[in-house]
Structure 1
């Protein structure tokens, strides 16, 4: 089920934890090589409604990253508390890396401008697979497109797939971004700073920005 539907959090969570030890270790090492990544590992910030005032994000100016994230949550009826806890990772450091990955997933959606429909999920999974090496991300990226209809399959092959691969390879290591410090940043400038290429599809961008 997790292979065919990358929107199934429960299946993906179990698969990710039981197959991702080497990737988690590599992610931790890569975060340790980055100044901001080390700070994240030391401070271990959490993203939930106890640490984040979602309503305040909604009051931020249009075009800010925080406003974009608020739109993502409010439009889709999501909450930062919805991400599942980690159950099958015993190492405390790797436990946090998995938890952090899980909690910033919606932030990846927001900064990339990807809705949480199947096409958007598959695109984000490609970026995550190339950035993290997590097997479950790669499996979701490979098998998720099997659920796309003909119209979305065409857009996926012509636009979303090459765009996602470029961002996965060229963007800064997104796990080493202290996202909580960027709520007030201009979204377009943040993308430039992270070397994220906007999707060359105006209709997809309008999903959040309108």
Structure 2
């Protein structure tokens, strides 16, 4: 039997509850007719392919096409105690819910410090993730919101930067684990935009690695990262069955 995960609670501000997410969801939810959903799907797909930096269109496409994949993710989260706690408590990841000053003070090579360093090095903020609007089921809406808010943590623990090569690599891991159409399309079509040097590294190293990690590692969307901030990253990798592509995370983060 797999051992129970150690809980690491530093840096959590427990301000978010089920009721808080429900109120937030009601505030932003936009119901769609079948025709409206079809039009949004077609339009967001076309714009996303033409401009992969249109995060709003990629988010829209994910919500209008992702129901079967979200059901798959929900079932996988329900299959283990850690995922069940996430679904029950519905935590959020942003500057209001996570004490980033505490993460900054953590030792190097901890999960929380790695995540904090990733945000700083790549000039990323956890407050930039859009609210879910077009998912009608509240549980599936939370799963999509959770996916968006842990995406940067995936980058951090996989030691991948926010370059096009890093994004495509992470998208392959996410595509294999979540089955979300936007992840699959991002992985496939994002690779087309790689420069020659990046494409060579992608084909020889990062793609084979991402395919292996996506299939063999634990289901990362079902990990309660907020309980693990103090966990040594090496220990986390071992528990998740992740073999890093390189050992020196700083060389990838920059």
CA shift, 1:3, in A, is 3.7
The answer for the alignment partner of 1:96 in structure 2 is 142
Pick one of 35, 58, 69 that aligns with 2:104. Answer: 58
Cα pair distance change 1:201/1:118, threshold 3 Å: farther
SS in 1 for 2:76: helix
* Deviations, residues 37-86 of structure 1 (Å, cap 9, x unaligned): 11110111110111111122111111111111011111122111111111
Quick check: 1:70 aligned with 2:116? yes
Quick check: 1:18 aligned with 2:64? yes
TM-score by length of 2: 0.78
Q: Which runs of 5+ in 2 are unaligned?
A: 1-46
* Deviations, residues 75-125 of structure 1 (Å, cap 9, x unaligned): 122111111111110110001000000000000000000000100000000
Matches within 5 A, 1:117-136: 117-136=163-182
TM-score by length of 1: 0.94
Cα pair distance change 1:63/1:6, threshold 3 Å: farther
Matches of 1:39 and 1:3, distance apart in 2: 36
CA shift, 1:5, in A, is 5.7
The answer for the alignment partner of 2:197 in structure 1 is 151
Quick check: 1:168 aligned with 2:214? yes
* Deviations, residues 115-163 of structure 1 (Å, cap 9, x unaligned): 0010000000000000000011000101101111110000000000000
Matches of 1:110 and 1:205, distance apart in 2: 11
Quick check: 1:86 aligned with 2:132? yes
Give the ranges of 4+ consecutive aligned residues of structure 1 lying more than 4 Å apart after TM superposition: 4-7
User: Which shows bigger deviation, 78-87 or 114-123?
Assistant: 78-87
The answer for the alignment partner of 2:152 in structure 1 is 106
> Does the Cα contact within 8 Å between 1:127 and 1:164 map onto a contact in 2?
yes
SS in 1 for 2:199: helix
Cα pair distance change 1:90/1:161, threshold 3 Å: same
CA shift, 1:200, in A, is 4.1
The answer for the alignment partner of 1:177 in structure 2 is 223
